[in-house]
Chain A
Amino acid sequence: MALEPGSPGPQSVEARPSAWGGLLAILDTPQKRGIAIVLILAAMVIAPQAFGPYATVILTNALLYTILALGLNVVVGYAGLLDLGYAAFFAVGAYSVGILTTEFGWNFWATIPVAVIVAMIAGVIIGGPTLRLRSDYLAIVTLGFGEIVRIAARNLQITGAASGISGIEQPWLFGWHIARQVDFYYVFLVLAVIAVLTSVRLANSRLGRAWLYVRHDEDAAEAMGIDRVRVKLAAYIIGAIYGSIGGAFFAVNLTAISPQSFSFQQSTLFLMAVVLGGMGKIPGVILGAFVVVLGPELLRDLGSFRYLVFAIGLLLIMLFRPSGIWPAGGKR
């Protein structure tokens, strides 16, 4: 009875025939899926050479969004908590790095544990009182927190106020100066792979199951002895960690950060990535992240109209295909 990654999931609901059906039918054994994954990874590795510097920037961004979307997926897709202020954790990671390196001269690698710990504390502070609330309230409260973090970042001196922090030094790793865009591309690729593996492991674990139990029927889950507040808090904190790590590397990639990057719009983009692809399904979330980043690039000519297109797209997905673009059923 395998729930291991790579094996077909439990015979599940809604195995609708769809356009994807053909593709998935070809990839029906673990071996074939494994080959597909290897091919995709190989493609990702040669992408910078194949597609050029501009594409590398875009793809790096897509990888960043993948990491963040996977983190938000733990909160929204697994635990079912609608977090509209996820950018707050992204901000925490970025600003922790920014402040510690520019104000206090810390080495980047030393700042990462701090960024993670601060994000965990933020998760506890925000999550603690609010996770007991019903879902509608939770959504708005998390939004409120996101705004509080952004406004604080915009007004405090230590975060550089409205101009943010600039001149963040880029890190060295065993003699390799991670400074070119293509260097960061590979760093983010590694991080994204780690994020995927971590998410898969979480999904197929006691904790991952607990999230699903709580999400599907909170009261029945409690009757089975599951402390739902603790389980939700775990999801929230894990999401915070993903977010802050993403933020940390984002900061050194851009060498400058400002409050604009951490707005509500940003939070909605992360949420769109999770929802569009298919909440709770890892391949779907990855796809969603790429769609959210590549979409506006492909629609550049439409100018500000493209966000309207996205919004309408989200609405249509919710109305007609709430399970997301990725087909339902199959491995998580």
Chain B
Amino acid sequence: MTLTTILAQQLVNGLVLGSFYALVALGYTMVFGVVKLLNFAHGDLYMVGAFTGLLALSAVAGTAGTSWVGVGLSILLAMIAVGFLGVVIERIAYAPMLKAPRLSILITALAVSLVLQNGVLTLSNGQVLAFSPRLGFAGINLGPVFINYKQIALAGTAAVLMIALEFFISRTQYGRAMRAVSVDRDMSELMGIDVNRVIAVTFFVGSALAGAAGTMAGAYYGSVWYFMGFIIGLKAFTAAVIGGIGSIPGAMLGGLVLGLLESFGTQIPGIGSEWKDVFSFSVLILVLVFKPTGLLGKSEQERM
């Protein structure tokens, strides 16, 4: 394989991987925008999405089959389920903690994450479960590169979701309300915006996106595991930070950038797949130290 082929293939891989990261990063950044909290449990929502998708697929297998339609339905069902789960978590665990010291909320989020992880661990007995939709391995050839249909579908679905989100944010009332709340919560309340509702909707949408990503990941990689949300949570956080935490286009951009960095990064001699995660975390640390506002974020001058 020539260098261009390798690079081109990595480009494709990077974009696909980046789509996952972007979808999960979006949820992170949206929630951070409205409640100024990094939802530590967000990665685990992705994991729950994967398991829910698996369940959904077995449920619809009879009627819709386990090919594209079946998977599509599973994604939809997982999105709805995880979306609701996100709202429930917000109501039970985060809403009561809003006035508490920062440290307490962070630990609460950690606790939620552990509950989700251990809950699924108990239910699945810690085993890696197979997620086998029948999507085949066919694809198309684009120049030197082979792109299979799964990858196209994945990137395509991610793109559709992101466009839908963009539309939601900029064109709908809820979207505008979300932006208002993330800029100034108290002022929004004075303007008559039902802040609690906006927060609930934000959690729903953000969690649904993570759920979608989880189901797609399960279908794409063929397996689900109770611990899969851990790393993705960190990567998504990295992506959100790269793009600028709080910025929605930033999360999308950050996700793609991280995906590409990882794909190309693993080609650097010395950094094999074992060191891939170390590579990504190093990127995170470097960004936080040198450009904490990320690519698209705004600098915050705190007022005293």
Contacts and interface: CB of A to CB of B under 8 A. Distances in A.
A152 B241 CA distance: 24
A133 B115 contact: no
Interface stretch (B49-57, B188-196, B275-283): B275-283
Interface stretch (A7-15, A66-74, A134-142): A134-142
Contacts of B93: 315, 318-319
Contacts of B92: 319
B152 interface: no
A311 B284 contact: no
A177 B72 CA distance: 65
Interface in A291-306: 304-305
A268 B232 CA distance: 18
Interface residues of B, number: 42
A305 B274 CA distance: 31
A9 to B, nearest CB: 20
Contacts, number: 113
Interface string B125-145: 110000000000000000000
Given A305-B122, A308-B118, A148 B282 contact: yes
Contacts of A155: 274-275
A304 B126 contact: yes
Contacts of B121: 304, 307-308
A129 interface: yes
Contacts of B40: 139-140
B161 interface: no
A273 to B, nearest CB: 13
A139 B37 CA distance: 12
Contacts of A151: 274-275, 277-278
Given A133-B292, A319-B97, A145 B281 contact: yes
A308 B117 CA distance: 8
A279 B101 CA distance: 13
A135 B102 contact: yes
* Top-6 shortest CB links A-B: A311-B114, A308-B118, A315-B111, A144-B281, A136-B38, A129-B289
Interface of B: 37-38, 40, 92-93, 96-97, 100, 102-104, 106-108, 110-112, 114-115, 117-119, 121-122, 125-126, 230, 234, 237, 241, 274-275, 277-278, 281-282, 284-285, 288-289, 292, 304
26 contacts: A80-B103, A129-B289, A135-B106, A137-B288, A140-B38, A141-B285, A144-B234, A145-B281, A148-B281, A151-B278, A154-B274, A268-B110, A271-B110, A275-B107, A307-B121, A308-B115, A308-B121, A310-B114, A314-B110, A318-B97, A318-B104, A318-B108, A319-B92, A319-B93, A319-B96, A322-B104
